[in-house]
Structure 1
Amino acid sequence: MANPQPHVVMLPFPAQGHIKPMLMLAEVLCHAGFRISFVNTDHIHNIIVENIDKSPLSQFPGFRFLSIPDGLPPEHPRDSSSIKDLFTSINSTGKIMFRDLIISLLRRDDLEREEIWHAPCCIIADGIMSTLAIDVEEELEMPVITFRTYSATCTWVYFHLEKLIEQKEIPVREGDEDIDRLVTCITELEKVLRRRDLPSICRCEVDPSILKFFLEQTSKMRRASGLILNTFEDLEAPIIRQLHSIYSKVYTIGPLQALLKSQMDDSPVAGAATGSLRQEDRTCIAWLDKQPAKSVIYVSFGSVVVMSPDQILEFWHGLINSGKPFLWVIRPDLVFGNGPNGLPEEIMCPTNERGYVVSWAPQEEVLAHCAVGGFLTHSGWNSTLESITVGVPMICWPLIVDQKVNSRCVSDIWRVGIDMKDSCDRSTVERMVRVLMEDKDEEIAKSTSKFANLAQKSVREGGSSFCNINKLIEDIRSIQSKKDDCKTK
């Protein structure tokens, strides 16, 4: 009897920006014939399974969703304003439940969809789920490969959190006289990264228990057998080389959306494989079809960030005053507190020919549209990489976790956009939009075109990401083979 195909358990952090790249990797592995048990929290599971039948993943009998409780009550908002609660509950309830789930998978073969599910051979776990996965690895001898869904650069910064504390670089207080002082204790970033650009968890305003959570996760993460990153060699080569000082195996397999498309003969990726937990409003595509080429500024602050009504109004007036057509994603839960109540009606409805507002957009399709000439973004890593991949320059307004690092890379390392962190008054917004859309900075134009070409090259046959995903697949098969050998002895 032939040896079974590898069965991999995948464990994302329960947020869209983390689930999205995990699901894309799951689909790539399914194409390789792997079986995937994708473990969400119960809360996320209840949201995402409604759309799975519309997803490319539904075609794979070797893919299934499993779930564990996150320990929070159903009515908990689970947004960025209450993220501490989720971190705490994941470390307690989630840890116990995940261990019990893995034990149950190891003890028996499952019969599902008339298919045999053999015991898993390894776990691919989000880097900030390391306290769940690494303890299971050490107790049950289940190999763990960590998938850090941030950039290589931000991952490298997180590995220096203890050193930043030792050298009193953090915590950083808004308004400090030396907030723009360069941080010189992080190799390769000595001449680029300022204290202002450090992750938001390094700010005085953030609960110190959140910094402690990330310190614990990063420490545990070092013990994984390998590191997966959704990036590509030509974008972050110097930092990737540094990460090899921690991991003997670093798999840079991005941009995952381009890698997946290349393996599917450029057919569109849709449904749950995009990781979207929200209903997309596709009417915006028809609106974009009517706009001139490169004329529209696309505005989206991601799936987690919350803003005050005053901040939204400043952006609104800045966009209107810029005179540029804009497509703006305003989620129902974007406004801090009681939702969009109190915002002017014109913001919550499609405006005139110059502006269009939706609650959620098919972002990859929007960014690839010929009418889009710029992206005003929160600088989440998925959004940043999607924009780089299609050559759309960015205006960065970062707020939380890795976003501040990403925005600095965009403006001062890769030169594919401009950084607007820590400011959002209407005059600044108007000026930045005009600079990006009118001035057409030659260096930014050249860099966006260069990195878009390199991103596409990386996922084609012979490219770095193409080779690395094959190496990852081979290494997981090797883990499975060793497991099978042990069974026969």
Structure 2
Amino acid sequence: MDQQPHVLILPFPAQGHIKPMVGLAALLCHTGRIHVTFLNTDHNHSRLTHLQALSTLFPTLHFKSISDGLPTDHPRTLQFFPELISSIKSVTKPLFRELLADSSRKSERPVTCVIADGIMSFAIDVAKELGVRVIAFRTFSACCLWSYFCLPNLIQEGQLPVGADEDMDMMVAGVPGMEGLLRRRDLPRICRIQLNDPLFQFFLVETQAMTRASALILNTFDDLEASILSHLAPLFSKIYTIGPLNALMRSRIGDGVPRSLSTFSNLWEADNSCMAWLDSQPLGSVVYVSFGSLAIMTRGFFMELWHGLVNSGKRFLWAIRRDTLSDAKGEQAIPVELQEGTKERGLLVDWAPQEEVLAHPSTGGFLTHSGWNSTLESIVAGVPMICWPQIGDQQINSRWVSEVWRIGLDIKDTCDRSTVETMIRTLMKDGREEIMMSMDRIAKLARDCVGQGGSSYHNLDMLIEDIGKI
């Protein structure tokens, strides 16, 4: 019997979780010694139309899917998140247990290790029950993960929840390592809802459950978050920091895969025509705008952003999903000045090949939601950021971008046209020199850590070695 290890990777069914875990799968399979089964939900598996090409590149990589328990026509958007997590617990968990048990009983190559998304703790319980080693992979920043671990302490001290009428600029105590840094507005968005809300309880429970895994994988690098990683270290027997994964892939696999994993791991089809538009723009002149795969906004706010972009006088490329607007019905006419301003200096597309856009020499800034994948991709490309965070880890990420790493600007909670215009001009001209000094330094650290002898390069080797011992 083939004794090679067989890893089953289970992401949470969302774009920002799937992408780094596909990257990890490719890196493991690149060794030629590890078999990987990547387990998506049926719904997302059907949307990832290029998986066969990835399997061709990596013959030991296989894809399977499992039901999330929701009807085919369910929107699965952010506002329905509680329905998704409830369905996963009730429907997906028993199906996952059956699949893993069958692997142990019937397969010629049984699963020897499960790498489960950090908010899919049922997989930890099932794997441990069946005697299969399990490693947690939390796909956001170490600084946000540590803040989640500190939530019980903040509750005990009466600092949560944060009410809508409270002083949002008051400093938060009780998150060691972030003293004098975190304001109430920088805490994860869930800190603004009631403590008994199922969503708050979900993240509270899932965070603590991760410690039941045998180890933790993080898509970050030691030089970026060393101080926070030292606080997390006592909670896990091992932590493998192997980020930025997109840069580590280029370092380890090189020309074996396209520059970006977007072709394989995007739930939206990218409009590559924007690259030709970028080719026609001056060096460093374009602000790339994208708020990720989940953010939604009102039409009024959309118009404020658009006015700010046009009024800044800078060129811009805006990737805006068709499902971004929460109140798109009964659309009003677009003001002439926006139409003309965009015709002269801007381009709007549904979805862009983000890594290629950030790496393009014409891209000079990134107006972002501060999702962790986007933050790391911007660092790797050396492109400074303007942060407008919405959910999850984004509030804390944006604070660290602006105040710790000093590689961008943070405009959370206040984002009218005047603010957008001012911030773009600051990033692209008035305050650019100072921000770029920090960005150049951190981008170099990111490149160094994924090269041979770098920390992330070494940590991936350790992970592969440990998986091989199972």
What TM-score do you get using the length of structure 1 for normalisation? 0.92
1:284-330, Cα deviation, whole Å (9 max, x unpaired): 11111111111110000001111100010000000000000000011
Task: Identify the residue that residue 129 of structure 1 maps to in structure 2.
Answer: 120
Shift of 1:45: 1.2
Q: Determine the structure 2 residue equivalent to 1:91.
A: 89
What is the identity, as a one-letter code, of the residue corresponding to 1:328? W
Residue 263 of structure 1 is matched in structure 2 by: 252
Deviations 1:332-360 (A, max 9, x none): 10111457944638879994230000000
Q: Match of 1:456?
A: 447
| 1:418-458 alpha-carbon deviations (Å, 9 max, x no partner) | 10000111011111111111113433111100011110100
Q: 1:377 aligns with which of 368, 382, 391?
A: 368
Displacement after TM superposition at 1:134 (Å):
1.6
Kindly tell me: are residues 79 and 342 of structure 1, through their superposed partners in 2, closer, same or farther at Cα, counting changes over 3 Å?
farther
Instruction: Give a deviation string over 1:248-270, Cα, whole Å, max 9, x none.
Output: 21000000000001112356334
Structure 1: gaps (5+ residues): 110-116, 480-489
1:313 is matched with which residue: 293, 296, 303?
303
Shift, 1:10, TM fit: 0.3
- Cα contact 2:23–2:261 (8 A) shared by 1: no
Aligned to 2:210: 221
Secondary structure of 2:26's match?
A: helix
Percent of aligned pairs with the same amino acid:
52
Are the equivalent residues in 1 in contact too, given 2:30–2:253 (CA < 8 A)?
Answer: no
Alpha-carbon distance in structure 2 between the residues aligned to 1:348 and 1:472: 52
Partner of 1:235: 224
Q: Distance in 2 between matches of 1:206 and 1:344?
A: 41
Q: Using the alignment, how far apart are the partners of 1:299 and 1:22 within structure 2?
A: 24
Per the alignment, residue 68 of structure 2 pairs with: 70
**Structure 1 position 247, deviation (Å):** 0.8
SS of aligned partner of 1:317? helix
Which of 273, 283, 287 pairs up with 1:293?
Answer: 283
Write the distance in 2 (CA, Å) between the matches of 1:361 and 1:148: 25
Q: 1:116-175 deviations in whole A, cap 9, x for unaligned?
A: x50010100000001x21211331111110000000111111111211211122111234
The separation in 1 between residues aligned to 2:99 and 2:341, in whole angstroms, is: 46
How far 1:106 moved relative to its partner?
1.0
Sort the Cα spacing of 1:273 and 1:361 in 2 relative to 1 into closer, same or farther, 3 A: closer
| Farther off after superposition, 70-79 or 167-176 | 167-176
Contact 2:7 2:111 in 1 (8 A): yes
Q: Does structure 1 residue 283 correspond to structure 2 residue 273?
A: yes
Q: Is contact 2:405–2:438 with CA below 8 Å preserved after alignment?
A: yes
Match of 1:196 among 185, 201, 206: 185
Q: Give yes or no for contact 2:221–2:455 (8 Å, CA) kept in 1.
A: yes
Tell whether 2:11 aligns with 1:21. Answer: no
Please show how residues 347-358 of structure 1 align to structure 2 within 5 Å. 351-358=342-349
| Structure 1: distance between partners of 2:455 and 2:409 | 28
Contact 1:319/1:326 (<8 A) preserved: yes
Q: Which residue type is aligned with residue 102 of structure 2?
A: S
1:72 partner amino acid = L
Paired residue secondary structure (2:101): helix
2: CA distance, partners of 1:339 / 1:182: 40
Q: Which moved more, 1:434-443 or 1:220-229?
A: 434-443
Matched, 1:7 2:6: yes
Which of 237, 253, 269 is 2:242 aligned to? 253
Q: CA deviation at 1:93?
A: 1.1
Quickly say closer, same or farther: Cα 1:350–1:88, change in 2 above 3 A: farther
* Preserved CA contact (<8 Å) 2:278 2:360: yes
Q: Deviations over 1:432-487 (max 9, x none)?
A: 111111113433111100011110100000000000000000000011xxxxxxxx
Matches within 5 A, 1:443-482: 443-479=434-470
| Map 1:31-180 → 2, pairs under 5 A | 31-33=30-32, 34-48=34-48, 50-53=49-52, 55-109=53-107, 118-130=109-121, 132-177=122-167, 179-180=168-169
Gaps of 5+ in 2: none
Aligned residues: 467
Give CA-to-partner distance per residue, 1:209-239, whole Å, 9 cap, x none: 1010111111211111101000111100111
Structure 1 distance, partners of 2:317, 2:262, is 23
Measured after TM superposition, the shift of residue 59 of structure 1 is 2.3
After TM superposition, the score normalised by the length of structure 2 is 0.95
Given that 1:350 and 1:357 are in contact with CA atoms closer than 8 Å, whether structure 2 keeps it comes out as no
- Tell me if the contact between 1:69 and 1:94 (Cα under 8 Å) persists in the aligned partners: yes
Give the deviation of 1:272 after TM superposition: 5.9
- 2:217 maps to a residue whose letter is I
Structure 1 distance, partners of 2:340, 2:395, is 30
Q: 1:316 to 1:207 in 2, by over 3 A?
A: farther
Q: 1:295 and 1:101, CA in 2 relative to 1: closer, same or farther beyond 3 A?
A: same
Q: CA deviation at 1:184?
A: 1.6
Partners of 1:143 and 1:400 in 2: how far apart?
Answer: 31
- 8 Å CA contact 2:299–2:327 kept in 1: the answer is no
SS at match of 2:50: helix
Q: Secondary structure at the match of 1:245?
A: helix
Q: In terms of mean alpha carbon deviation, does 342-351 or 218-227 score higher?
A: 342-351
Q: Sort the Cα spacing of 1:349 and 1:59 in 2 relative to 1 into closer, same or farther, 3 A.
A: farther
User: 1:160-214 deviations in whole A, cap 9, x for unaligned?
Assistant: 121121112211123412x212112111111211111011111138982101011
Indicate conservation of the 8 Å contact 1:144/1:225, yes or no: yes
* Pair 1:339–1:94, CA change in 2 (3 A): farther
Instruction: Tell me the residue number matched to 1:487.
Output: none
Residue of structure 2 in register with 1:391 after alignment: 382
Amino acid at match of 2:200: L
Does the residue aligned with 1:461 lie in a helix, a strand or coil? coil
Q: After the TM superposition, list the runs of 4 or more consecutive aligned residues in structure 1 that deviate by more than 6 angstroms.
A: 345-350
Mean CA deviation greater in 299-308 or 197-206: 197-206
